[in-house]
Amino acid sequence: MKQEGMLVDKLNMRAKQEPEKKPSLVEDAYRALKDAIRNNVFPPGYQGSEQEMALRLGMSRTPVHEAIIRLQEDGLVRVLSKRGVTVCPLAPEDIREIYEVIIAIEAMAAELLAALPDEERHLVADELKEATSDMEQALRDDDLLAWAAADDLFHRTLVERCGNSRIRRIAQTVTDQAHRARMLTLKLRSKPTGSIAAHRDIIAAIRKGKAAEAHQQARQHRIGARDELVPLIMSVGIKHL
């Protein structure tokens, strides 16, 4: 009886531990796969098996399988019956639509940030300032990859700290897709010095608590990015990213 009791205790302990372990492995796989897609390790149009993707990431197949299901819901991959997984490409019109969503949600996020209480608002403004300073340093170092990472951090902070969880969830997918376009066109664009000035205008409006101005500055910044990126993609004849 004592041994049976000990066995039950062990099984109960394992049952408690396994649900905790599984989501952690799946979350790790999800983040690793998404980063690989965002940064074009698995480029648009890439097609491979779950096993191949798991091997390239040094992960086991089961959490990768579950992560792929989530990524399909995000619109980043498509599972093909008996043909593995493909990374969804983006056409210029897709980029235009993505930016139209980003324009709306980031403008609203900036407005909400400017309406936060003083202390909280200034803390977020400091975070945005630090990301912008990192962008400036990256340009001085002629490091476009570091610039892109700092720019991505600025825009993620903008939506993640605005206090609206629905904006954060909506933004997650479209900003991932916009980041892919940014990375693929990084060397085709002129040196992105204008982003730094635009970011500083957004930060200043947020710091001063000027909600309408923050909204407008964020909106104009993303409109400018859309109006630069989409014609560039079309001019060089890129049909899919």
**Is a pLDDT exceeding 50 seen at residue 16?**
no
pLDDT of amino acid 236: 62
Identify the band that residue 4 occupies on the pLDDT scale cut at 50, 70 and 90. Answer: very low
Give CA–CA dist 86/89, Å, rounded.
9
**Is a pLDDT exceeding 70 seen at residue 158?**
yes
**Is a pLDDT exceeding 70 seen at residue 21?**
no
pLDDT of amino acid 204: 98
Residue ranges, comma separated, of all CATH 1.20.120.530 domains in the chain are 92-235
Mean pLDDT of 237-241: 54
* Both tokens assigned to 77: 């991959």
Beta strand spans in the chain (E): 47-48, 77-80, 84-87
As a whole number, the mean pLDDT across the chain is 85
Angstrom distances, CA of residue 25 to CA of 18, 57, 64, 68: 11, 13, 9, 13
**Residues in the chain, overall count:** 241
Give CA–CA dist 21/15, Å, rounded.
10
Mean pLDDT of 23-36: 87
**Is a pLDDT exceeding 60 seen at residue 25?**
yes
pLDDT of amino acid 89: 80
Helix axes 211-235, 165-184, angle to 10 degrees: 30
Which residue type is seen at 23? P
Give CA–CA dist 85/237, Å, rounded.
26
Q: Is 84 helix (H, G, I), strand (E, B) or coil?
A: strand
CATH architecture label of 92-235 = Up-down Bundle (1.20)
pLDDT of amino acid 38: 80
Percent of the chain topping pLDDT 90 = 47
- The residues with which 218 forms a beta bridge, in sequence order, are none
* Both tokens assigned to 75: 């619109």
Angstrom distances, CA of residue 230 to CA of 39, 45, 174, 197, 226: 19, 19, 15, 21, 6
Query: In the block, which residue shows the tokens 């940014």?
Result: 182
Dump pLDDT digits (tens) for 183-235.
777 777 778 888 999 999 999 999 999 999 999 999 999 999 889 888 877 77
Lowest mean pLDDT among 42-51, 92-101, 170-179: 170-179
Give CA–CA dist 42/108, Å, rounded.
32
pLDDT of amino acid 146: 93
Comparing C-alpha atoms, which of 93, 63, 53 is closest to residue 233?
93
Parallel, antiparallel or unpaired: strands 47-48 and 77-80: unpaired
Q: Domain 2-87 - what CATH class?
A: mainly alpha
Give CA–CA dist 103/227, Å, rounded.
12
**Is a pLDDT exceeding 80 seen at residue 3?**
no
Dump pLDDT digits (tens) for 111-137.
999 999 999 999 999 999 999 999 999
pLDDT of amino acid 37: 85
pLDDT of amino acid 193: 84
**Is a pLDDT exceeding 50 seen at residue 2?**
no
Give the strands of the sheet with 77-80, arranged side by side: 47-48, 84-87, 77-80
Residue ranges, comma separated, of all CATH 1.10.10.10 domains in the chain are 2-87
Query: In the block, which residue shows the tokens 């299901």?
Result: 69
pLDDT of amino acid 17: 46
Output phi, psi for 166, to 5 deg: -70, -40
Entry pTM: 0.72
